[in-house]
Amino acid sequence: MKLLAAASLAACALAWTGTVSAQQAKLCDKPRQMDGFKTCADVAKAEAEGAFVLYSTDPDAGQAKLLASFNKAFPNIKTNYVRLQAGALYAKLLSERQAKSYLVDVIQLSDMGMILDFQKRNGFTQYISPEMAAFKKEYKSTPEGYWTWGSVIMAGLATNPKVVPTAEAPKKWEDLLDPKWKDGISVKVSNSGLQHGVWYTLKPILGDDYFKKFAEQKPRAFDSYVQQYGRLVDGQDKVIMGAQYSGYLEFKAKGAPLDFVFPATGVPTVPETYGIVADGPHPNAAQLFMDWFLSPVGQKALSEALLLHSPRDDVPPPAGGVPLKEMKLLVPADWTAFEKDRPSFAKQWNRIVGARH
């Protein structure tokens, strides 16, 4: 198992050749200049379609806010979304496609293994957005245009200083093995792409025994960081292991008493990846959305709605957030190996968390 520890995602090499289509898509000769972004989409056709559907792993409130920003720019396009954890969302998508029911235009998944699997299934439509030029090569599919990293999420340790004084809070991943945290730790369910990233990147650093010992702490698993931070604020749990940083920023902005620690070992990091789904009901609206979303305008809207970090160098971090360059990011070096690891992870993680929720 290979692991890449870096201060910047720029060092992340993507070992994937992708699905090569018979006819490679090309960037249109004259992209249309819109308000803050360029597009190769047929805007008139997109507005005539009148709708757009996104499948996403992000929390409802933030997702609705993001799509409201797109709808404000294009009021003739009604937006809708479905939110589930990564594993459940991908299972829904595959089930629908098997039934030849095409309901979604763009999908966002927080597990690169699922993204690669869907690409192998020829599930994406290739569309090279003019805005993709601002994204590093390792943030895009090969060939380009099937999927692109839309945001970067990272995991650390979170506590409530009213429950756990800051001086006594865990500072290292190893600190969580202290018996005093038993029955007081929350994690994500195995369907979570970020939780898989935590497992995959920390295991070779901390050793196989780490998670065996961690299981003895009887962690409780939850579907969403909203549940995790809610329980932390209410004093139901003492610490979040693999706490999503954007969730911390969101709750902190609302005045919640929270501490967040970036362990010196590094913070597990995965992307939220977006791609246009083949045979979607609104193909022109999907292209227009991708152009808007990948631009500084869309990426800033994402940052404001969900407090997520953009992969673009020209978009600042979310309000109150630490820039990516100041973090020690632990990014899987081989996404194909990451994909193959998921069944083993899910089995072992389900055993660790049991039915404690």
The string of DSSP codes covering 332-347 is ES-HHHHHHHHHHHHH
Mean pLDDT, the chain, rounded, equals: 92
**Residue environment code for 335-347, b if the CB has 16+ CB neighbours within 10 A, otherwise e:** beebbebbeebbe
5 band by pLDDT with thresholds 50, 70 and 90: very low
Query: Do residues 313 and 184 share a domain?
Result: no
Of 25 and 58, which is predicted with more confidence?
Answer: 58
Q: Which amino acid is at 186?
A: S
State pLDDT tens for residues 253-297. 999 999 999 999 999 999 999 999 999 999 999 999 999 999 999
11 inside domain: no
Helix (H) or strand (E) holding 60: helix 60-73
Q: What is the model's pLDDT at position 1?
A: 44
Check which CATH number belongs to the domain holding 279 and give it.
3.40.190.10
Whether the predicted pLDDT of 8 surpasses 90: no
In what helix (H) or strand (E) does residue 272 lie, and over which residues does it extend? strand 267-276
Question: Which residues have C-beta within 8 Å of that of residue 145, sequence separation ≥ 6?
Answer: 25, 126, 127, 128, 129, 132
Asked if 230 and 143 sit in the same domain, the reply is no
Alpha-carbon dihedral 305, 309, 311, 312, rounded to 10 degrees: 70
> Are 222 and 344 within one domain?
yes
Distance (Å, rounded) from C-alpha 3 to C-alpha 6?
10
DSSP state, 124? B
Say whether both 71 and 181 belong to one domain: no
Nearest-CA neighbor of 264 among 332, 177, 175? 175
Across 102-129, b (16+ Cβ under 10 Å) vs e yields eebbbbbbbbbbbbbbbbeeebbbbbbb
> Does residue 24 sit within a domain?
no
pLDDT value, residue 156: 98
pLDDT in tens, 9-34: 444 434 343 433 434 577 888 999 99
Asked if pLDDT for residue 94 goes beyond 90, the answer is yes
Q: For residues 145 and 159, state if they share a domain.
A: no
Give me the percent of the chain exceeding a pLDDT of 70. 92
Same domain, 312 and 167: no
**Does the CA dihedral 272-285-21-313 come out positive or negative?**
negative
The number of domains in the chain is 2
Q: Please name which of 82, 56, 345, 84 lies closest in space to residue 223, comparing C-alpha atoms.
A: 84
| pLDDT given for residue 23 in this prediction | 41
Query: pTM for the complete prediction?
Result: 0.88
Task: Report CA 186 to chain centroid distance, whole Å.
Answer: 19
3 lies in some domain: no
Range of the domain at 262: 153-269+330-353
| Residue 6 is assigned to a structural domain of this protein | no
Instruction: Return the SS3 of 249.
Output: helix
251, 286: one domain: no
**How many whole angstroms separate alpha carbon 66 and alpha carbon 306?**
8
